[in-house]
Amino acid sequence: MTEVSNEQGRASWLSAIWAARYRTPARFVALIALLLPWSTTGLTFALVPWLIAFAFVDLREFPRSLLRPICLLPIALVALALVGTLWSDAPWPERLHALGPPAKLLVIPLLIYQFERWPYGKWVFAAFLVSCALLMLYSFTVAIDPRLSLKLYFSRGPYQVESGIAVRNYIDQSQEFALCALALVYPVVALVRQGRIRIAALLALLAVGFLANMMFVVVSRTALVTLPVLVLVFALLHLHWRGALIAAGAIVLLAVSFWSVSPHLRATVAKFQTDYERSLESNSTSISGMGSRLVYWRKSLGFIAEAPLIGHGTGSIRGLFARVAGDADVDPLRGEVVSNPHNQTLAVAVQWGVVGILVLYALWFSHLLMFRGEGLACWIGLLVVVQNMLSSQLNTHLFDFTSGWIYVLGVGVAGGMALAAKKTQG
């Protein structure tokens, strides 16, 4: 009897150690999600222990997993960037520096493999939601007393005391809050259907908090453009036509309410028109967000026409803009030299031509198709991909640090969970 109990004890210890072997990598990914809204440096440091922990999981099926398009296409885009250094005319430091933004995509296949096999993805979602909730509360505090902003200590960029930006910048903050607000819609609806009204009300209140921060404190125009489209996607996918009409009416009513009580929202929307009108003035030399983008896009289309098939090579964007820049003293707008044309498609096309565009859109659509179906993982994954595709028309959000890592974590973790659920159902 004693021998049997000893064997059972040893077996339980071994099973606990074996389970910890797979829980530890998930904890590090949750830590990465927790740090993402607050610290770029912290995220980078958290990656190292996760990669070490990942090396100790069962990797026998990993090579086969890499052959799927959802894993192969991120690798292909990074490989194209690497090969693109060979025909670029940019200095080698700029070529190597330009490899950094797409390199994060290599993490997607690892995350898909990990969370397809071990069901700890909700830890990551919860960590990101809690972190963004704390950021939202802190943002309200900073709006009241700007001296409390951590941006004073952690940011190199310009700081506006009235902005209510807690840590980094209003674009990243708005992307995170919009994502969280809409991601909460699915569990709220599911909980209401289950009769769990209290928890649903708590999550709904949190979603309203994110929206209120965007409407009354600070919001990016990119988020304002993408938010209605994402809501429409949810209504079409998860509601019947009658429910979709009711949801559309509620959204219109909510938008009108926010518009009537939020001077900040009205000013943000009005800036669209003023920036556009200013950009149409032939003698305008003032720099505005929309005006700058129009100039960047026109120049980028010219660069693409010069090398349409394989582009100018990795890291070439800044040199190309420097080549055609006007006198910055006479015309500051057309004299700008940038390494980011504020459009993901153009950024890829300038460097890697039509080949790059094909790989980029194949990547997006392969990840989009991965999230067909029901469930929280499919909803979050779909939300992340659609948000990135839409916002990347006005920014390079696949290559930007925060937005890019949101895409990597969202697609990797939710993708693994969605594939695991489909296997179980199959």
% residues pLDDT > 90 (the chain): 46
pTM of the model: 0.89
CA atoms of 397 and 393, how far apart (whole Å):
9
The angle subtended at Cα 164 by Cα 158 and Cα 168, nearest 5°, is 50
- The residue among 20 and 255 whose pLDDT is bigger is 255
pLDDT band at 59 (very low <50, low <70, confident <90, very high): confident
pLDDT at 375 over 50: yes
Tens-place pLDDT, residues 305-346: 999 999 999 999 998 988 887 655 555 666 677 888 989 999
Residue from 396, 285, 295, 417 nearest 351 by CA: 396
- Compute the average pLDDT of residues 265-282: 64
Give the dihedral sign, CA 253/254/259/262: positive
Query: Per-domain residue ranges for the chain?
Result: 19-57, 68-118+284-374+383-426, 121-280
- The residue among 77 and 298 whose pLDDT is bigger is 77
CA atoms of 337 and 387, how far apart (whole Å):
28
CB distance 378 to 418 below 8 Å? yes
